[in-house]
Chain A
Amino acid sequence: MDKTPTTPNLPAAISRRDFNRVAASTSAIAAAGWFPAIVRAQPTKLKVGVILPRSGFEAQLGQSCQRGADISPGIMKELYGVELELMNVDFESSVDRARSLAEKLINDGANVLIGPFDSGAASAIAQVAEQRKVPFVINIAAAPPITEQGYKFTFRNFPTSVDLIRNGLALFRDLFQATGTAPRTCVFMHVNDTFGMANKAAIDRILPTLDYLPFKVVETISYDPAARDLSVEVAKAKASGAEIVMLVCRLNDSILLVREMVKQRYSPKGIISPGSPGMYQAPFYTALGKYSEYCISNVPWYDPKSKMTAIVDRAFSKAFPSEKLMFYALDVGFTVEAMMIAADAFKRARSVDGPVLADAIRQTRITDRMMLGGPIAFDAKGQNTQIASACIQNRKLRPQVVLPAASAEIAPVFPVPDWNSRT
């Protein structure tokens, strides 16, 4: 009786075809990633690419945000038990540099990108994040188009210019009501970068629809945020005879503007920002001293009574003993919250895979937060729409909440004293 020879070590039941079938199925399952729990090790740390403008004209703001990033690994370990590895880069306040650094961070293994305190840079980074399928959590950037492009990997925990301005202008009304005043004329001065132009567009759109504001914009003056000299701008503002200055600024230019107003003896009834950085930041007080007083910023702000604020304050004081959180609160707060979003998603997803992490971020719901507003959650566009603003006035050389009344630390002063009567 003939017997087909078989390989002694293999059972006769497995034929070459069976083997190929099993091998093909195994490869297909492996390719589909259906058994990561069996063969892949659980990732132990999340690599976070932090892109900030630590030099160039936005340097102070980038450095301020960097402080938030620096204290985050310890806080995230405490809150979520996850390890963050920060990969810090400086995009030098240049949009092109931001784009190339985002590429580099992803090439170097970043699992998530966080930054960049600049709308132009955020738009550039979002394109890279989308192409490379790596989640990008925006800490601060307000231009609306960033979350209007249908991106799947970009998430913003900061109001859009429209929301920022709408909230900011509502606080103008509250301020006038609280102080029983009604200025009739306003000069609108704004930086001409992406952020400034987005704010201008929002103001142009919203202001005509509001019937509760008593003033009319008599002159609009745009200027370069990197300008060395703003004397012409202030001369034009003064010539307009406007009672108040509505200012969308950055830090250095806000200092230059106030100095120039003092020199040109232009004392408006108030300098009020409807939602921009600059006037509540530490260097503003240092550079201007008594002239920094009474400037008003209607901006997203931190809740001094929240548990998260206490945790962040403790970590901040430990890392920067000579600094006070209140001068960096907005930048540090939103940067720490961006880290929270990433750490929380990483903890739930148990993966560093971009699409998996992005899905987890999409389902974020963080109720214990530092900044004022509802829980951190994202709509279908990746935008958090639950962020509130507060009216902050510089008093006793520090930013203090004057509105809403429930959170007020001190009563607002408006109209403000003129430059000569300040001591």
Chain B
Amino acid sequence: MPLDLVVNVLLGGLLTGLVYGLMALGLSVVYGVVRIVNFAHGELMALAMYVTVVAFAAFRLDPLWMLLPVALGFFGLGYVLQRTLINPFIARPEHAQFMLLLAVALILVNGLLLVFGPDARNVQVDYALDSFQIGPVLVDKVRVVCALVALASCALLWAVFRFTRLGKAIRACADNLLGARIVGLNVAHLYGLTFGIGCACVGVAGTLLTLLVDVTPASGPSYTLLAFIIVIIGGLGSMPGALAGGVLIGVSEAAAGLVFTPSAKSMVSFALLIIVLAFKPQGLFARR
């Protein structure tokens, strides 16, 4: 097997994996703090993709310019969603939370289907088909841009949680809810902000993905599944785990396509999931 082929494929997997990681990060952050598993995660990302596609179609706005507006918009959406719809379910059994978020997912999928129809949509920027050539290795320009933005977003999120008062307060809620309440933190508000941050991650990932893939209303559930696989492999609630899980899935799918057959790519993700569940059920990067 030629070395340049191996390098090309693995590099492509790595770059795509970083965007997957950002997508899964939102799910992980929300679970890590609010202890709610967002079953509408992929559907929210499909919504972000449609927002980007519509903005591009209407105003020819490059998705990279849409990153900040979409992130802010989805932060607001996430905050409102949590405070109005999800917060009343915080203390309820998990199956009730599951039903609620599944309903949100169904409404989103069918709402998108009603508004946009089933056709695949995409954005076609001038640089969409460009690539860099470094010796025998070809690197997809869009994938590089997306991976860099994903890395920058993760770094920003890490800095927010590590160095800001808000981040420390959110971490306090995650670490010791009772203690956070005792010292006077507004937990409901912080939960709303956390859900907003999770949704902002999803919004950014969705906006980036429009540069890589087409979107249909049916895309959502498959992204939810992918995000679940990634966070379970990386460790639910672990930020580095989500990013590493994304990279692991991206690279292993690419390698499987190369070594076995491309049809076996998804099978490898599920095989990894089963192996992790069997030998390290808390995930590869979980704290315990």
Binding site for B on A (CB under 8 A): 54-57, 59-60, 62-63, 92, 192, 221-224, 226-233, 235-236, 238-239, 252, 255-256, 259, 262-265, 283, 287, 289, 291
Contacts and interface: CB of A to CB of B under 8 A. Distances in A.
B220 to A, nearest CB: 12
Given A223-B263, A228-B213, A236 B5 contact: yes
Given A221-B261, A223-B263, A236-B5, 7 more contacts: A222-B262, A224-B266, A229-B16, A232-B12, A232-B254, A255-B120, A283-B119
B138 A265 contact: yes
Nearest to B139: A263
B118 A227 contact: no
B118 A283 contact: no
A291 B129 CA distance: 11
A62 B118 CA distance: 10
B8 interface: yes
B257 interface: yes
Interface string B39-75: 0000000000000000000000000000000000000
28 contacts: A54-B118, A57-B218, A59-B117, A59-B119, A60-B118, A222-B263, A223-B262, A224-B262, A224-B266, A226-B222, A227-B262, A228-B213, A229-B213, A231-B140, A232-B12, A232-B254, A232-B257, A232-B262, A233-B257, A235-B9, A235-B12, A239-B1, A259-B128, A263-B131, A263-B140, A264-B138, A265-B131, A265-B138
B216 interface: yes
B224 interface: no
B125 interface: no
A6 B131 CA distance: 105
Nearest to A190: B263
Nearest to A90: B118
B71 to A, nearest CB: 22
Contacts of B120: 59-60, 252, 255, 283
Contacts of A287: 122, 124, 214
Contacts of A231: 9, 12, 140, 254
A76 to B, nearest CB: 26
B98 to A, nearest CB: 22
Contact of B9 (A54, A92, A232, A283): A232
B265 to A, nearest CB: 7
A236 B12 CA distance: 13
> Shortest 8 CB-CB distances between A and B: which pairs?
A59-B118, A232-B257, A55-B118, A262-B129, A239-B5, A233-B262, A223-B262, A228-B213
B2 interface: yes
Contact of A235 (B8, B119, B266): B8
Contacts of B253: 232
A192 B258 contact: no
Interface string B120-164: 101010001111000000101000000000000000000000000
Contacts, number: 99
Interface of B: 1-2, 5, 8-9, 12-13, 16, 113, 117-120, 122, 124, 128-131, 138, 140, 212-214, 216-218, 222, 253-254, 257-258, 261-263, 265-266
Given A224-B266, A239-B5, A252 B140 contact: no
Contacts of B214: 252, 255-256, 287
User: Which one of B9, B118, B263 has the highest number of Cβ atoms from chain A below 10 Å of its Cβ?
Assistant: B118
Contacts of A239: 1-2, 5
B118 A63 contact: yes
Contacts of B2: 239
Contacts of B212: 228-229
Given A57-B218, A232-B12, A259-B129, A63 B119 contact: yes
Contacts of B124: 287, 289
Contacts of B129: 259, 262-263, 291
A192 B267 CA distance: 14
A196 B9 CA distance: 25
Nearest to B113: A55
A231 B261 CA distance: 13
A227 B214 CA distance: 11
Contacts of A192: 263
A56 B263 contact: no
A269 B265 CA distance: 28
A392 B129 CA distance: 26
Nearest to B130: A263
Contacts of B118: 54-56, 59-60, 62-63
A236 B262 contact: yes
Nearest to A221: B262
A251 to B, nearest CB: 8
B156 to A, nearest CB: 26
Contacts of B222: 226, 228
Contacts of A238: 5
A247 to B, nearest CB: 14
Nearest to A55: B118
Nearest to A57: B218
Contacts of B131: 263-265
A232 B268 CA distance: 14
* B13, B117, B257 interface centre (most CB from chain A within 10 Å): B257
A192 B265 CA distance: 13
A108 to B, nearest CB: 22
A184 to B, nearest CB: 20
A289 B120 CA distance: 16
B129 to A, nearest CB: 4
A54 B130 CA distance: 33
A270 to B, nearest CB: 19
Nearest to A252: B120
A204 to B, nearest CB: 16
Nearest to B2: A239
